[in-house]
Amino acid sequence: MIYYEKALSDLLDFQIRGIKVIDLNFCYQTENFSNELMYSDFQKFQEYYIINIKKSEIDETLFNDINKILCSINSNTDNNFFLYRDFQTRNIMIKSGELYYIDYQSGRRGPLHYDAASFLYSGSIDLSEDERSFFLDYYIDSVNKRTGADKGKFMFEFYYFVLMRLIQVLGSYGYTYEKKKDETVLQKIPKAISNIRSLRTKTSDPVMLKFIDYLTK
């Protein structure tokens, strides 16, 4: 478990120190984690997961409502950090007791929350809810010490970013299956859905709860 704490500490270094030294002009596709980029993830999710894999009709009103909420959260969150974009255990290597990081080519300026959500709710990580809460508290305490961010506000925003990330993940699974016919990605879907279901106890937002129920029924 010490590696998890080390990874989260290193992540915060990436996020805080990275933004000061990385030339964002080289970021692909955009310099910022914009609402337009998030909407692109959402469209991929609808087309390749909801329609092609879940084979459900899209509730236009619900989808528009949740998209507006997620865009509002993203727009009103401090985004002056380096966003790794795909910070998960599969992109962390261990050699001689040290951690090494790969696959950050989608990095750009963005909020802190998204990377922590990517890590703690990754399909390749095996944590109990208590363990996940412990590491989230560890990360938020570190954020507070280094940036002065309000813990309560961060926690409130965090679970919206978890949903945002899991939407991106399901869209990616659906896209990979459609384009490459890689059936191994289908085996990852139940865990992503289970992670979404776990968010029911983390929010009182009626729209988010309705969306969670839509995805997990």
Model confidence pLDDT, tens digit, residues 7-50: 999 999 999 999 999 999 999 889 999 999 999 999 999 999 99
C-alpha distances (whole Å) from 176 to each of 78, 141, 164, 181 are: 32, 36, 19, 7
What is the separation of C-alpha 37 from the centre of its chain, rounded to a whole number of angstroms? 13
Q: Decide if pLDDT at 58 tops 80.
A: yes
Q: Decide if pLDDT at 1 tops 80.
A: no
**Strand positions, DSSP E, the chain:** 81-83, 92-95, 98-101, 108-110
User: How many angstroms separate the CA atoms of 143 and 16, rounded?
Assistant: 10
The pTM for the full model equals 0.96
pLDDT one-digit tens code per residue, 105-141: 999 999 999 999 999 999 999 999 999 999 999 999 9
- CATH topology for 2-216? Aminoglycoside 3'-phosphotransferase; Chain: A, domain 2 (3.90.1200)
pLDDT one-digit tens code per residue, 185-195: 999 999 999 99
Percent of the chain with pLDDT over 90: 96
